Amino acid sequence: MARVVITGLGAVTPIGSGIEEFWKGLTAGTNGVSRITRFDPSDFSSQMAAEVKNFHPEDWIERKSAERMDRFTHFGFASSTMAIQDAGLDRFVFDGNRAGVIIGSGIGGSETIEKGYSLLREKGPKSLNPFFVSKLLINMCACLVSIAYGFKGPLSAPSIACSTGANAIGDAFRVLQRGDADIMLAGASEACLTPLAYGGFCATRSMSRRNDCPEKASRPFDKNRDGFVMGEGAGIVVLERLDHALRRGARIYAELAGYGSTADAYHFTAPEPDGDGMARAMEKALQDAKVLFQDVGYINAHGTSTVLNDKIESGAIRRVFGGHSKNLKVSSIKSMIGHLMAAAGAVEFVSTAMSIYTGIIPPTINYEEPDPDCSLDFVAHGAERIELQAALTNSFGFGGGNASLVLRKLNEP
């Protein structure tokens, strides 16, 4: 099996776009949650979100092309361009037949669907745009990136709820391991802060209702958490076979060493109470990476700020790592950027790669009162510096999809 490394990072997030701005915001504990501005939330039970602001598609995409894309594609395309430029692939002649794209989404063109339905009701079917269908398709972001950059290898667009981004990266990892490509662009994008989608999630009663204090609403693992905060954004990474990256002299952030994917087979939305699926995903990732649990120094937790998820994930971590769980640093960046839904795992993977590269762990903000059901060593109140050899990042989704990825420092070629 070929070894796989991370050579490019791109992100569009509620606390900044581009790896430098995003990482600066994370390590500073910047809060990206506020009252919703994209529509009037007054009639909704939850009224806050982590919105992407000051993002202009035309900075990344030709204006006419941007008009034919949904907002989620804007995010994904921009993040892909960032990752490609960060990896130096825009200055390197590569074999397009050996380069692939796996970019997923949970809902896809949510904004396009809602606007199209309104037009249909108000003006009839002749009012619909000829690009309506292509704008809403989940696979369109991956396809348009492939077209723009000449990536002619494997192409797909997974949709596995909140674990989508991690699964996309894990699937790309497997493509490279088995030798079907030299370069893979992978991640996910989500832009579902629209009235219908947002209202639907409000109806699940899993979102925070701390409307009087939005900046305190996302509080993973805190005893007084009351639900997640919805967000939007995208995370895309360039993965390469190690031999290919070394041959072209690429900068390497970290090695992607292991991937575990499981299903709870339990419930539409609730996680399995004993956390068995979560634990098995972590165990599989560690076994795949051939990394001892004692070598893992940090977990970028799924940490949604919901009562059930945080408690069950904490228990699953203790089950997998046993006594070593007391030595693990744990944080959830959802405290700052909210839950980016399908894009969460990809953006959190970007964050974890930066932690390996810099030795800095971003904090879990709003962690004020420990919950005895979540007894782990949480990085809170400020970033911490630690020499990391290996780290693990978790993503768990509605329907029981679980994905874990193990990253480690590349100590030798």
Query: According to the model, what pLDDT value does residue 381 have?
Result: 85
With contact defined as beta carbons under 8 Å apart, do 161 and 342 qualify? yes
**Do the domains at 4-247 and 259-408 have one common CATH topology?**
yes
- Spell out the residues 6+ positions from residue 147 whose beta carbon is closer than 8 angstroms to its own: none
Query: According to the model, what pLDDT value does residue 411 have?
Result: 79
With contact defined as beta carbons under 8 Å apart, do 8 and 86 qualify? yes
| pTM above threshold 0.75 | yes
CB atoms within 10 A of CB 128: 15
Please state which of the four CATH numbers 3.40.47.10, 3.10.580.10, 3.40.640.10, 3.40.50.2300 is assigned to the domain occupying 4-247: 3.40.47.10
102 closest CA partner among 119, 69, 80, 85 = 80
Is 74 assigned a catalytic role? no
3-state secondary structure the chain: CCCEEEEEEEEEECCEECHHHHHHHHHCCCCCCEECCCCCCCCCCCCEEECCCCCCHHHCCCHHHHHCCCHHHHHHHHHHHHHHHHHCHHHCCCCHHHEEEEEECCCCCHHHHHHHHHHHHHHCHHHCCCCHHHHHCCCHHHHHHHHHHCCCCCEECCCECECHHHHHHHHHHHHHHCCCCCEEEEEEEECCCCHHHHHHHHHCCCECCCCCCHHHCCCCCECCCCCECEECEEEEEEEEEHHHHHHCCCCCCEEEEEEEEEECCCCCCCCCCCCHHHHHHHHHHHHHHCCCHHHEEEEECCCCCCHHHHHHHHHHHHHHHHHHHHHCEEECCHHHHCECHHHHHHHHHHHHHHHHHHCEECCECCCCCECHHHCCEECECCCEECCCCEEEEEEEECCCEEEEEEEECCCCC
- 190: Cα within 13 Å, side-chain hemisphere: 33
Instruction: Pick the catalytic residue from 192, 244, 339, 374.
Output: 339
CB atoms within 10 A of CB 232: 29
Q: What is the CATH number of domain 259-408?
A: 3.40.47.10
Q: Mean pLDDT for each consecutive 10-residue tract of the chain (413 residues)?
A: 97 98 98 98 98 96 96 98 97 96 98 96 95 96 98 98 98 98 98 98 97 98 98 98 97 98 94 96 98 95 97 98 97 98 98 98 98 97 95 97 98 66
Instruction: Pick the catalytic residue from 141, 202, 244, 302.
Output: 302
For the chain, the domains span 4-247, 259-408
Query: According to the model, what pLDDT value does residue 367 have?
Result: 98
- Spell out the residues 6+ positions from residue 382 whose beta carbon is closer than 8 angstroms to its own: 29, 363
Instruction: Pick the catalytic residue from 162, 192, 202, 374.
Output: 162
Is 302 assigned a catalytic role? yes
Residue that is written with structure tokens 């993977």 in the block: 349
Q: Which two tokens stand for residue 288?
A: 């795949």
Angle value at C-alpha 262, between 261 and 266, nearest 5 degrees = 155
Is 267 assigned a catalytic role? no
